């Protein structure tokens, strides 16, 4: 109680003359100085990061131009060889044999895997690798394209796996036309790995990348983990796909192939069907600036701490100076006045745990009149009686200091409330504890709001299912249990198929009702110990604990697909949808909530690509 009274007197006298103006000036000056320093730090960091970002954009654009020129020069060299081989093929067998031998010797062996010719019937007629089994190549996309296109142009294909060489290659091809009629194709197979290695000299950082794509976004070659991205395709919303008339540009995006956030510069080659992308990892580019900002913030924090200590010491010295001039009688009178007018209830309890005194605020909170509880045990304030009274337990603790906690209280009319008690031990001059002071407040509404806020922060408002935050917490708990027991955690990522037409045809209200029905159907499929959650939109995630290698997750995925394929009756409409499910398992697919959810998400997309209404590992 002495400490609480000291603080009350301190703040009461803070605004008392004659030193109130001095205090006010010190506090306002401190706040102003702190605000100016904070503003300068924030604006300086924003300026330096923006400058670093602009520099990264320019660097990416310059690298894309240089790499594009290098690639175009190599393409021109190969195209010249193709045109020469085509002219020889038209001139006759003797010229064709001689020219093909010359080209085979002059082409760079590290890039060109082979030179070959395909006849009009689609069968391989010649290969620089020597005689080969009869091989039909008429099903290649570039062969079909050149066979039907009358334009004389170079076609560059995405990487294909050679049927004889069993190696990945980019096919550069031109059509042979004899007397205006299609007479086959001459082509060169180029190694994308070696081509990418030659481009790697342009990179500045370990996560920077150069990528050659075609006008449809197909990855032809990539300097960073290129072989693993053959067959991948960039998002179709990229501006170099949407605006073929643009020659170059830049953007910031997460790479579709590895998820790294990069600033990209892109340049269209003279062959407008090819685009060179230069990607600089944004986190690496901004790392030096952020490290410098971190050091500046640390220095500012230390200076602020020192300044705060000095100001606090000055204010404390002023308070002590004023307190020294106060008489003990004034202190006691002031203390009694505070007790009588405090908004919080005060209960004084003797050494035997019996109520000695209360203040008016206590009477207002509980409804008991002053003196009505004198001599009663403190458990009389509890709704559950003495045996389970948390307040009585706190009061009965021995030793000096402070305790606090909530308890279930009861008013004089029998109604209940949630009380919060702060208990201080008061000792006599010989340090013998003689009584305790309970500072009591009604926190019923505050605890109710806390509970509501917790629920809103952890559950989806539409379906009432756990949201992403609560899902991650529960998965972490499952992982800890699985590590202890050497068991398995399965995470299933569910994406509804054909949900958008429901919103378009029947409106979002019906769509929301359908999502609730989906949530209910999913909850009925699983145990109470499993977690069914909604991430947002039409995406749901289920986490469950299972025995190792039990196949429980795969079985559950099949049940989900079957259950959600059954028709729904919503607002008088019979609605039929389906779903695609991805399955991830600990420990095989990840060891954290984020990695398991991400792996399950990728597996779901694989299932969707297979035709929907499916599940995939």
- Active-site residue list: 538
409-415 long-range contacts (CB < 8 A, ≥24 apart) are: 409/366, 409/381, 409/382, 409/383, 409/442, 410/381, 410/382, 410/383, 411/365, 411/366, 411/367, 411/368, 412/366, 412/367, 412/368, 412/369, 412/372, 413/367
- DSSP result, 343-404: SSEEEEEETTSBEEEE-HHHHHHH-PPTTTTTT-BGGGGBTTTTTT-HHHHHHT--SSSEEE
> 289: part of which helix (H) or strand (E)?
helix 282-324
Spell out the residues 6+ positions from residue 498 whose beta carbon is closer than 8 angstroms to its own.
Answer: 576, 577, 578
The C-alpha atoms of residue 470 and residue 80 are separated, in whole angstroms, by 62
The C-alpha atoms of residue 307 and residue 292 are separated, in whole angstroms, by 23
Spell out the residues 6+ positions from residue 138 whose beta carbon is closer than 8 angstroms to its own.
Answer: 118, 121, 122, 123, 144
* Token pair listed for 127: 């290969």
The C-alpha atoms of residue 287 and residue 490 are separated, in whole angstroms, by 36
Taken as a whole, the chain contains a residue count of: 617
Helix runs in 92-140, H state only:
93-106
| 436 within 8 A of 426, measured Cβ to Cβ | yes
| 213 within 8 A of 220, measured Cβ to Cβ | yes
* Token pair listed for 546: 């299972």
- DSSP result, 548-601: TT--HHHHHHHHHHHHHHS-EEETTEEE--EEEEEEEEETTS-SSHHHHHHHHH
Q: Collapsing DSSP states into helix, strand and coil, what is residue 69?
A: helix
Nearest 5°: CA angle at 271, between 265 and 273? 70
**What distance lies between CA 245 and its chain's CA centroid?**
35
């Amino acid at each position: 109680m002495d400490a609480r009274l000291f603080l009350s007197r301190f703040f009461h006298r803070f605004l008392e003359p004659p030193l109130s103006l001095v205090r006010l000036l010190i506090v306002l000056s401190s706040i102003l100085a702190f605000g100016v320093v904070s503003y300068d730090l924030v604006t300086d960091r924003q300026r330096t990061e923006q400058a670093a970002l602009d520099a990264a954009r320019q660097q990416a654009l310059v690298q894309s131009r240089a790499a594009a020129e290098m690639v175009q020069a190599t393409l021109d060299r190969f195209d010249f060889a193709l045109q020469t081989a085509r002219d020889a093929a038209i001139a006759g067998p003797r010229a064709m044999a001689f020219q093909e031998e010359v080209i085979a010797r002059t082409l760079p062996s590290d890039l060109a895997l082979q030179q070959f010719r395909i006849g009009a019937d689609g069968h391989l007629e010649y290969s620089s690798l020597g005689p080969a089994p009869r091989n039909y190549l008429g099903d290649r996309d570039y062969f079909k394209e050149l066979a039907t296109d009358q334009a004389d142009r170079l076609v560059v294909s995405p990487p294909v796996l050679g049927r004889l060489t069993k190696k990945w290659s980019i096919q550069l091809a031109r059509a042979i036309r004899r007397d205006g009629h299609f007479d086959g194709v001459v082509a060169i197979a180029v190694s994308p790995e070696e081509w990418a290695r030659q481009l790697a000299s342009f990179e500045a950082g370990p996560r920077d990348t150069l990528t050659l794509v075609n006008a449809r976004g197909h990855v032809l070659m990539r300097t960073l983990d290129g072989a693993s991205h053959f067959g991948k395709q960039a998002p179709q919303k990229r501006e170099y796909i949407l605006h073929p008339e643009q020659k170059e540009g830049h953007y910031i995006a997460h790479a579709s192939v590895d998820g790294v956030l990069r600033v990209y510069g892109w340049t269209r080659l003279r062959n407008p069907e090819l685009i060179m992308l230069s990607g600089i990892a944004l986190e690496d580019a901004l790392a030096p600036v952020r490290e410098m900002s971190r050091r500046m913030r640390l220095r500012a924090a230390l200076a602020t701490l020192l300044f705060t200590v000095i100001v606090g010491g000055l204010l404390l010295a002023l308070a002590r100076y004023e307190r020294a001039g106060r008489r003990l009688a004034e202190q006691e009178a002031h203390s009694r006045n505070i007790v009588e007018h405090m908004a919080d209830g005060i209960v004084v309890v003797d050494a035997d745990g019996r109520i000695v005194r209360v203040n008016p605020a206590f009477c207002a909170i509980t409804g008991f009149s002053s003196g009505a509880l004198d001599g009663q045990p403190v458990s009389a304030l509890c709704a559950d009686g003495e045996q389970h009274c948390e307040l009585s337990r706190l009061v009965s603790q021995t030793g000096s200091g402070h305790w606090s906690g909530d308890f279930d209280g009861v008013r004089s009319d029998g109604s209940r409330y949630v009380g919060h008690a702060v208990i201080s031990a008061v000792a006599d001059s010989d340090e013998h504890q003689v009584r305790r002071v309970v500072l009591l407040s009604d926190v019923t509404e505050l605890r109710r709001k806390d509970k509501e806020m917790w629920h809103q922060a952890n559950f989806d408002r539409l379906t009432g299912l756990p949201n992403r935050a609560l899902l991650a917490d529960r998965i972490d708990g499952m992982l800890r249990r699985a590590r202890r027991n050497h068991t398995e955690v399965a995470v299933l990522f569910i994406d509804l198929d054909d949900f958008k037409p429901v919103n378009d045809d029947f409106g979002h209200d019906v769509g929301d009702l359908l999502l609730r029905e989906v949530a209910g159907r999913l909850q009925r499929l699983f145990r109470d110990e499993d977690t069914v959650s909604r991430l947002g939109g039409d995406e749901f995630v289920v986490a469950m604990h299972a025995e190792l290698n039990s196949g429980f997750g795969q079985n559950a995925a099949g049940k989900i697909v079957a259950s959600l394929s059954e028709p729904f009756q919503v607002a008088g409409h019979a609605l039929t949808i389906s779903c695609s499910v991805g399955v991830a398992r600990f420990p095989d697919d990840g060891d954290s909530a984020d990695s398991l959810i991400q792996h399950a998400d990728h597996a779901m997309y694989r299932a969707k690509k297979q035709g929907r209404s499916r599940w995939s590992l």
